[in-house]
Structure 1
Amino acid sequence: MPQIYGFERLIKRYSVPFKLVSEVDGYYDGLGEWKQGTTLTSDMTGALVPLPARAVYQSGGRLTQRDRQLYKTGDEIPDGSIIEYKGHRYKVESWTNFGDYADFNAYLLKSMSNFDGEVE
């Protein structure tokens, strides 16, 4: 099925650079020895925008003004990954795959910073 909507140019226009921090789980090798997991950091770009006031209001306190929405083309970002942008850290809480209709994915990012702006 061809994609109906193309948002790549629009997303690129409003994209900002950010860092993606993801954990690779540990595993047992062929000899049965535990190999510790590692942390991978990669540079990416995407449109990182504040949540609409209506979404914050209708969430019943679950979402705040510090949370963000990320629109990104290309590879998917796994749930639980960490996004670092301008000194703030966000955790990927959920994502919506628009692959059947468009050329992007939307991610809900929860702020991991406290009220003072310090990372927990």
Structure 2
Amino acid sequence: MNYQNPNGGLQNYSANGESLVQQVSLLSGEDVNLNRMAIYKAGNYKRLTATGAVKAGPGVLIGFYVASTNLGTITLYDNSSNAAPQISGVITPAVGWNEYPAAFATALYAAIGGTALDVTFIYV
């Protein structure tokens, strides 16, 4: 419904009398062609084939991509070495994308075991 605003112009109201506001500009990430918000899971990356540091300092792990494995395992730590605290138990990942959202306060360190593992971690 439209009503004349005493200060000039028309004011839009819903059927139950609530004032309606028209947004004039796009929000960050808004896709008007697809009529949705675009949300991308993206970040920095680190590829490992042996035990090592993924990221120094705090951050968030989005997940990891396993390119190849032969009974390889991963254990994640919130530390700059394979010392407590552990983020995960022993993971035996499948080849492909493995979503694993986890925050870490100190650093992210991955202990890789088993026969062979080629993994790329995605983090922010």
The verdict on a shared fold, with TM-score over 0.5 as the criterion, is no
TM-score w.r.t. structure 2 length? 0.25
TM-score w.r.t. structure 1 length? 0.25
Q: Looking at both structures, which has the greater relative contact order when contacts are Cα pairs under 8 Å and sequence separation is at least 6?
A: 2
Greater gyration radius? 2
Name the structure where strand makes up a greater proportion of residues. 2
Name the structure where helix makes up a greater proportion of residues. 1
